[in-house]
């Protein structure tokens, strides 16, 4: 596929930005200025000021002398970069690969994009009209190389210029040497020699050009004509698994979003299926016409390229997408993709139903509404301390490394935090006779214990616990413990920790 690049030049980037934000500035001459060696130097002038002969690089004092009512605004040093970054991201609706061209331009890799707009001229028209409506002065050019597009955009006084494929050399001939992105010194030397057009030196011997103007110039010349390849650094890295769906009319209904999502999922899953991969995480990005981006993200417990299942997961999240003025572009990305183990499904079904695909899909759906970390499965851990005797299973496939212990009684319901109880215990190291829990007095009839569980000193400090399983007069069974050793003076050391069935 032939490469096509677009260069967008914003001749009044910063002043346009100020005019958009402050309406009163639109019809007055104003300049931006920054201090430089103790003087205020103009960094940008709006079109009205420029027309009155004020240009960037002048001192503010000189400009005031020419035009006393000139407004001067302090420049914000890094604003241009931020602004270009935002504009570049906005341009993602036209092509996935956009890059910033400092100080005041953007480069888009439009290869294979223009046909969606019905041609290259309508493509550029749509792009420039939108930017113009937003309040920016723009010049855009499309060519086979970044260099040619840049040269044309910066030199031709037309808003849109399309250089047909392969004709960039001819287009360059009549342009001034500055259009080649050369050092100011080199440009000056060229003009001094009377070489006012690229055409007057493009045919010269390369060795002669190199000797007089340096290697840099030859490189720029080659980049513009397409002899040398030039690359750009995309603002947003292009995900390898990504699908785009531009819309003719802005989408505002849920049904519309669902249709778009289904189409994207179909194409993406078809591709994943061919490669034997499945989605672990996916993000649906909705580009609204007012420049905002709405997102919905899903995650799965095991890699899946099952359209119905993924669609159900997204369906739970679509409500969060606010399409207020309308969505014009949908992008579905799969940042995390894993191999699908389809061949194992049948084997695992016998070994343990926990590997069931239906179950994994169910958990994905539940995860959308469950509390934070709301879906848990436990495997035994090698600790005696009750709270640490279990740990979360890392995945659905994790098997217990050690067998579950049944040698000691454990309550079926465990309190998240042991609660203090009042007891009367007659003899040291005997279970209490009576305890009071939540205002109810329980008379202990039977008891088992003590089972001493030491605190793991390498993890935390504190007293050991002596656990007793006790049963009261009505047959209710509890798990009590005494923290530390028996102490007559301290009856508050008793806690209830659980209920036996």
| Nearer to another protein (CB atom), residue 62 or residue 382 | 382
Cα 86 to the center of its chain, rounded Å: 14
* Closest CB 416 distance from another protein, rounded Å: 7
Does 354 help bind another protein (rule: CB under 8 A)? yes
| Nearer to another protein (CB atom), residue 107 or residue 469 | 469
Interacting residues with another protein between 458 and 477 (CB under 8 A): 469-471, 473-477
Does 299 help bind another protein (rule: CB under 8 A)? no
Does 451 help bind another protein (rule: CB under 8 A)? no
| Nearer to another protein (CB atom), residue 109 or residue 472 | 472
Does 405 help bind another protein (rule: CB under 8 A)? yes
Question: Residue with structure tokens 């047959």?
Answer: 475
98 phi and psi angles, rounded to 5 deg: -125, 145
Q: Which two tokens stand for residue 422?
A: 């009042």
Does 486 help bind another protein (rule: CB under 8 A)? no
* Closest CB 315 distance from another protein, rounded Å: 13
Q: With contacts defined by CB under 8 A, how many residues of the chain interact with another protein? A: 56
CA angle 263, 269, 274 (to 5 degrees): 135
Rounded distance between C-alpha atoms, residue 334 and residue 78, angstroms = 33
Cis peptide before 450 (omega within 30 of 0): yes
Rounded distance between C-alpha atoms, residue 389 and residue 57, angstroms = 73
Q: Which of 227, 415, 422, 441 forms a contact with another protein (CB under 8 A)?
A: 415
CA angle 430, 434, 436 (to 5 degrees): 125
Q: Which of 86, 173, 366, 422 forms a contact with another protein (CB under 8 A)?
A: 366
DSSP 62-96: HHHHH-TT-EEEE--TTHHHHHHHHHHHHGGGT-S
Q: What dihedral do alpha carbons 12, 14, 16, 17 form, nearest 10°? A: 160
Q: Which of 365, 383, 384, 464 forms a contact with another protein (CB under 8 A)?
A: 365
Rounded distance between C-alpha atoms, residue 33 and residue 312, angstroms = 55
E strand or H helix that includes residue 496: strand 494-499
Does 289 help bind another protein (rule: CB under 8 A)? no
| Nearer to another protein (CB atom), residue 209 or residue 368 | 368
Does 322 help bind another protein (rule: CB under 8 A)? no
242 phi and psi angles, rounded to 5 deg: -145, 140
* Closest CB 444 distance from another protein, rounded Å: 10
Rounded distance between C-alpha atoms, residue 221 and residue 168, angstroms = 11
Rounded distance between C-alpha atoms, residue 318 and residue 102, angstroms = 38
| Nearer to another protein (CB atom), residue 308 or residue 487 | 308
Q: Which x/- pattern, by CB under 8 A, does the window 370-399 give for another protein? A: xx--xxxxxxx-----x--xx--x----xx
90 phi and psi angles, rounded to 5 deg: -65, -35
User: How does DSSP classify residue 122?
Assistant: H
Q: Which of 283, 362, 434, 453 forms a contact with another protein (CB under 8 A)?
A: 362
Does 173 help bind another protein (rule: CB under 8 A)? no
Interacting residues with another protein between 215 and 244 (CB under 8 A): none
Is residue 496 a contact partner of residue 437, using CB atoms and an 8 Å limit? yes
* Closest CB 312 distance from another protein, rounded Å: 10
Q: Which of 159, 259, 315, 447 forms a contact with another protein (CB under 8 A)?
A: 447
Does 342 help bind another protein (rule: CB under 8 A)? no
Please, which residues bridge with residue 72 across strands? 31
Does 455 help bind another protein (rule: CB under 8 A)? no
Task: Residue 489: name the closest of 425, 399, 402 by CA.
Answer: 425
| Nearer to another protein (CB atom), residue 436 or residue 446 | 446
Binding site for another protein (CB under 8 A): 352-354, 356-359, 362-363, 365-366, 369-371, 374-380, 386, 389-390, 393, 398-400, 404-406, 409-416, 445-448, 469-471, 473-478, 498-501
């Amino acid at each position: 596929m032939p490469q096509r690049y677009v260069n967008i030049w914003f001749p009044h980037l910063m002043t346009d930005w100020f005019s958009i934000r402050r309406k009163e500035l639109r019809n007055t001459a104003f300049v931006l200025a920054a201090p430089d060696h103790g003087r205020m130097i103009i960094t940008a002038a709006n079109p009205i000021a420029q027309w009155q002969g004020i240009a960037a690089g002048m001192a503010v004092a000189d400009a005031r002398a020419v035009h006393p009512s000139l407004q001067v605004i302090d420049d914000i040093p890094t604003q241009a970069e931020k602004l270009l970054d935002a504009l570049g991201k906005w341009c993602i609706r036209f092509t996935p690969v956009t890059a910033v061209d400092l100080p005041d331009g953007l480069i888009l890799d439009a290869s294979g994009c223009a046909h969606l707009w019905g041609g290259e001229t309508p493509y550029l028209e749509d792009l420039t009209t939108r930017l113009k409506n937003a309040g920016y002065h723009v010049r855009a050019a499309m060519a086979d190389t970044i260099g040619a597009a840049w040269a044309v955009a910066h030199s031709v006084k037309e808003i849109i210029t399309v250089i047909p494929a392969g004709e960039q050399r001819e287009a360059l001939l009549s342009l001034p040497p500055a259009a080649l992105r050369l050092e100011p010194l080199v440009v000056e030397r060229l003009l001094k020699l009377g070489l006012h057009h690229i055409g007057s030196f493009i045919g010269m011997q390369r060795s002669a050009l190199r000797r007089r103007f340096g290697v840099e110039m030859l490189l720029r010349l080659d980049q513009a004509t397409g002899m040398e390849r030039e690359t750009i650094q995309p603002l947003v890295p292009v995900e390898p698994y990504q699908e785009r769906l531009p819309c003719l009319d802005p989408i505002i209904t849920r049904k519309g979003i669902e249709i778009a999502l289904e189409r994207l999922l179909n194409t993406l899953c078809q591709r994943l299926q061919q490669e034997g991969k499945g989605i672990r995480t996916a993000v649906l990005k909705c580009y609204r016409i007012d420049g905002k981006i709405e997102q919905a993200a899903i995650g799965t417990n095991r890699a899946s390229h099952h359209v119905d299942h993924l669609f159900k997961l997204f369906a739970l999240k679509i409500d969060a997408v606010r399409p207020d003025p309308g969505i014009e572009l949908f992008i579905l990305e799969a940042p995390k993709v894993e191999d699908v183990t389809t061949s194992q499904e049948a084997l695992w079904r016998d070994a343990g139903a926990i590997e069931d695909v239906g179950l994994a899909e169910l958990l994905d759906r539940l995860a959308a509404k469950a509390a934070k970390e709301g879906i848990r499965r436990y495997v035994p851990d090698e600790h005696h301390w009750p709270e640490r005797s279990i740990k979360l299973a890392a995945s659905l496939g994790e098997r217990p490394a050690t067998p579950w212990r049944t040698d000691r009684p454990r309550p079926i319901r465990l309190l998240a935090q042991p609660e203090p109880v009042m007891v009367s215990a007659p003899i040291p190291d005997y279970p209490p006779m009576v305890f009071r829990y939540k205002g109810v007095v329980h008379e202990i009839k039977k008891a088992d214990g003590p089972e001493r569980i030491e605190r793991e000193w390498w993890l935390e400090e504190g007293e050991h616990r002596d656990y007793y399983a006790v049963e009261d007069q009505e047959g209710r069974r509890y798990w009590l413990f005494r923290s530390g050793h028996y102490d007559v003076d301290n009856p508050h050391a008793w806690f209830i920790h659980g209920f036996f069935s």
